[in-house]
Amino acid sequence: MSPKVSVIIPAFNEESSIGLVLNDLPTDTLHEIIVVDNASTDNTARVARESGARVVEEKHKGYGSACLRGIAELDQPDIVVFLDGDYSDYPEEITSIIQPVISGEQDFVLGSRMILPESRAALLPQARYGNRLAVFLICLFFRHRYTDLGPFRAIRYESLKAIGMQDTDFGWTVEMQIKAVKKGLRIIEIPVRYRERVGVSKITGTVSGTFKAGTKIIYTIFKYLIV
Ligand SMILES: Nc1nc2c(ncn2[C@@H]2O[C@H](COP(=O)(O)OP(=O)(O)OP(=O)(O)O)[C@@H](O)[C@H]2O)c(=O)[nH]1
Ligand SMILES: [Mg+2]
Q: What is the pLDDT of residues 202-212, one digit of tens each?
A: 888 888 889 99
Helices (H), the chain: 18-23, 44-50, 63-72, 94-102, 117-122, 125-142, 157-163, 172-182, 207-226
- CB atoms < 10 A from the CB of 20, how many? 16
- CB atoms < 10 A from the CB of 89, how many? 27
Amino acid at 64: G
- CB distance 91 to 83 below 8 Å: yes
Q: In this predicted structure, what is the pLDDT of residue 43?
A: 98
**pLDDT single digits (tens) 43-76:** 999 999 999 999 999 999 999 999 999 999 999 9
CB of 8 within 6 A of ligand 1: the answer is no
> Which ligand is nearest to the Cα of residue 64, counting in written order?
1
Does residue 1 carry a pLDDT above 90?
A: no
Q: Whose CA is nearest to atom 16 of ligand 1?
A: 86
Angle of CA points 84, 67, 162, to nearest 5°: 125
Question: pTM of the entire structure?
Answer: 0.97
Q: Whose CA is nearest to atom 23 of ligand 1?
A: 201
Determine the residue of 63, 172, 196, 206 to mutate for testing ligand 1's pocket, defined as the one with the most ligand atoms within 8 A of the Cβ atom: 63
Q: In this predicted structure, what is the pLDDT of residue 199?
A: 87
Q: In this predicted structure, what is the pLDDT of residue 202?
A: 83
CA distance 216 to 126: 15
> Residue 88 CA: which ligand 1 atom is closest?
23
Q: What is the mean pLDDT of residues 93-103?
A: 98
CA distance 227 to 225: 6
Angle of CA points 48, 203, 63, to nearest 5°: 50
Determine the residue of 58, 84, 126, 197 to mutate for testing ligand 1's pocket, defined as the one with the most ligand atoms within 8 A of the Cβ atom: 84
Q: In this predicted structure, what is the pLDDT of residue 2?
A: 87
Q: In this predicted structure, what is the pLDDT of residue 10?
A: 98
What string of H, E and C letters represents the secondary structure of 91-132?
HHHHHHHHHHHHCCCCCEEEEECCCCHHHHHHCCHHHHHHHH
CB of 84 within 6 A of ligand 1: the answer is yes
C-alpha 123 to ligand 2 mean position (Å): 9
- CB distance 10 to 71 below 8 Å: no
**pLDDT single digits (tens) 149-202:** 999 999 999 999 999 999 999 999 999 999 999 999 999 999 999 999 998 888
Amino acid at 51: S
Q: In this predicted structure, what is the pLDDT of residue 201?
A: 84
C-alpha 104 to ligand 1 mean position (Å): 31
Q: Which helix (H) or strand (E) holds 169?
A: none
- The DSSP bridge partners found for residue 7 are 33, 81
Q: In this predicted structure, what is the pLDDT of residue 215?
A: 96
CA distance 78 to 157: 5
Please, which pLDDT band fits residue 147 given cuts at 50, 70 and 90?
A: very high
Question: Which of the 8 DSSP states describes residue 194?
Answer: B
C-alpha 140 to ligand 1 mean position (Å): 28
Residue ranges covered by each domain of the chain: 5-226
Determine the residue of 124, 202, 207 to mutate for testing ligand 1's pocket, defined as the one with the most ligand atoms within 8 A of the Cβ atom: 202
- CB distance 48 to 36 below 8 Å: no
> Which ligand is nearest to the Cα of residue 12, counting in written order?
1
5-226 CATH, one of 2.40.30.10, 3.20.20.150, 3.90.550.10, 3.40.50.300:
3.90.550.10
- CB atoms < 10 A from the CB of 107, how many? 23
Q: Which residue has the higher pLDDT, 1 or 17?
A: 17
